[in-house]
Amino acid sequence: RIIIAIRSLKLEYIVWPSGNYKKEVNTGFEQIQGFLVVIGAIDESHIPLFEAPSKENKDPASVHDAKVFTNSEIFKNYKNYFKEENYLLADSAYPLLPWIMTPFKDPQGSQAQQQKTYNTAHSKTRVVVEQAFGHLKVQFPFLKEMRAKDTKKATNIIDMAIILHNFVEKHNDIWKKNNPKDDEIELEAEEDNELIDQIIENNKTNRVEREYAK
């Protein structure tokens, strides 16, 4: 009942920026490294289940973050979200689209230095999403290994945690005692990404072995 009650606040605390709030978001990103009309940053974060689903190849956690994104509401109905000139920042795992700015994968040629400069600014700006995941997991340590028995329940619990996190942020009730430094959060995010890549590769190998066994 507690989860249901908190999730009823989802449309209030998990929202797409609009109006004056969107302008505040744009200004906030611009102040970091000068990126204009950026409306947000996207990334993945691994939240392991204590008991993994039996059909892991059908679970979102077993596929690449870009694949998960292409199945999302924002990707499928992007025109509803990007009616004006606004962009999301994403790492190189995501597709380069008119509304998604990604880094150059292999800076080279006469513009290599400019591309590297862009990549550095892009990384320093996009890191806010990694820090957000880090803060979320500090507030709710159970996200580092959830004991939910199925993905639906796990999703509901994650929703609840994000809603509570945004509630805290909105009302400035910032935790202090266990608040890590940003560089510590970035390190945890890097380790998280490495674990995700390892899981994806393991799943690919397992599928190949199963096909070979047939």
pLDDT exceeding 70 applies to what percent of the chain? 74
How many other C-beta atoms are found inside a 10 Å radius of the C-beta of residue 48? 13
Examine residue 214 and state whether it is found in any structural domain, yes or no. no
Per residue in 2-50, pLDDT (tens digit) is: 888 889 999 899 999 999 999 999 999 999 999 999 999 999 888 888 7
Q: Which domain holds residue 13?
A: 2-208
The amino acid at residue 154 is A
pLDDT of residue 78: 94
Examine residue 121 and state whether it is found in any structural domain, yes or no. yes
pLDDT of residue 20: 93
3-class state of residue 214 by DSSP: coil
Examine residue 118 and state whether it is found in any structural domain, yes or no. yes
Examine residue 52 and state whether it is found in any structural domain, yes or no. yes
The total number of structural domains in the chain stands at 1
Examine residue 126 and state whether it is found in any structural domain, yes or no. yes
Examine residue 125 and state whether it is found in any structural domain, yes or no. yes
Q: Is residue 59's pLDDT more than 80? A: no
What sign results for the dihedral spanned by CA atoms 20, 160, 138, 81? Answer: negative
Q: Is residue 66's pLDDT more than 60? A: yes
Examine residue 213 and state whether it is found in any structural domain, yes or no. no
3-class state of residue 110 by DSSP: helix
pLDDT of residue 108: 86
